[in-house]
């Protein structure tokens, strides 16, 4: 069972341009922009609510043929996924499978902050859902 919302991800064309609103207008101080070459993205977190607070993640696709770039092309900028933190991703994966959830991963993938699985929007009322065990 998920413990908390870890982050909500927004897909954008250009992180620096997005920060004009999120940092300069709204006033949230972002973390450093990180390159994640294995996932073909640049990301930046916008921390809120102190330690343990849920964050906004800005995601900018860096490879034009990646699935994220195609999502951006098709749907435009906007909300992309929610990430919920769980205690034990292996137990969660087994539980989701047993309950018939539509899991996109056969085994947990290595994400920036730990190990994660994704659930298909078809089984979650239209929401791409990440479950994450933080490392």
Site residues (CB under 8 A) for a second copy? 1-5, 8, 10-12, 17-18, 21-22, 24-28, 48-50, 52-56, 58, 76-79, 82, 84, 96, 99-101, 121, 123-127
As measured in angstroms, the least distance from the Cβ of 105 to a second copy is 16
Nearer to a second copy, 17 or 34 (CB): 17
Hey, what's the torsion of the CAs at 70, 73, 79, 83, to 10 degrees?
10
Smallest distance, a second copy to C-beta of residue 1, A? 4
Alpha-helical segments (H) within the chain: 15-19, 67-75, 89-98
CB 61 within 8 A of CB 74: no
CA distance 64 to 80: 17
How far apart are the C-alpha atoms of 133 and 135, rounded to whole Å? 6
| Residue nearer to a second copy on the CB measure, 4 or 70 | 4
Q: How far is the CB of 99 from a second copy (least distance, A)?
A: 5
Q: How far is the CB of 42 from a second copy (least distance, A)?
A: 14
Q: Which one, 48 or 110, has the nearer CB to a second copy?
A: 48
Between 25 and 37, name the residue whose CB sits nearer to a second copy. 25
Q: C-alpha distances in angstroms, 19 versus 46, 52, 60, 98? A: 10, 22, 12, 41
């Amino acid at each position: 069972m998920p413990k908390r919302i870890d982050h909500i991800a927004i897909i954008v064309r250009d992180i620096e341009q997005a920060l004009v609103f999120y940092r300069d207008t709204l006033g949230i101080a972002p973390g450093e922009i990180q390159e994640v070459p294995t996932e073909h993205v640049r990301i930046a977190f916008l921390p809120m609510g102190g330690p343990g607070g849920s964050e906004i993640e800005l995601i900018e696709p860096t490879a034009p043929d990646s699935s994220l770039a195609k999502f951006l092309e098709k749907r435009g900028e906007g909300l992309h996924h929610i990430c919920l933190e769980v205690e034990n991703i292996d137990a969660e994966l087994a539980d989701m499978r047993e309950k018939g959830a539509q899991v996109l991963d056969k085994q947990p993938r290595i994400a920036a902050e730990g190990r994660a699985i994704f659930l298909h929007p078809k089984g979650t009322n239209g929401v791409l859902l990440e479950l994450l065990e933080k490392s």
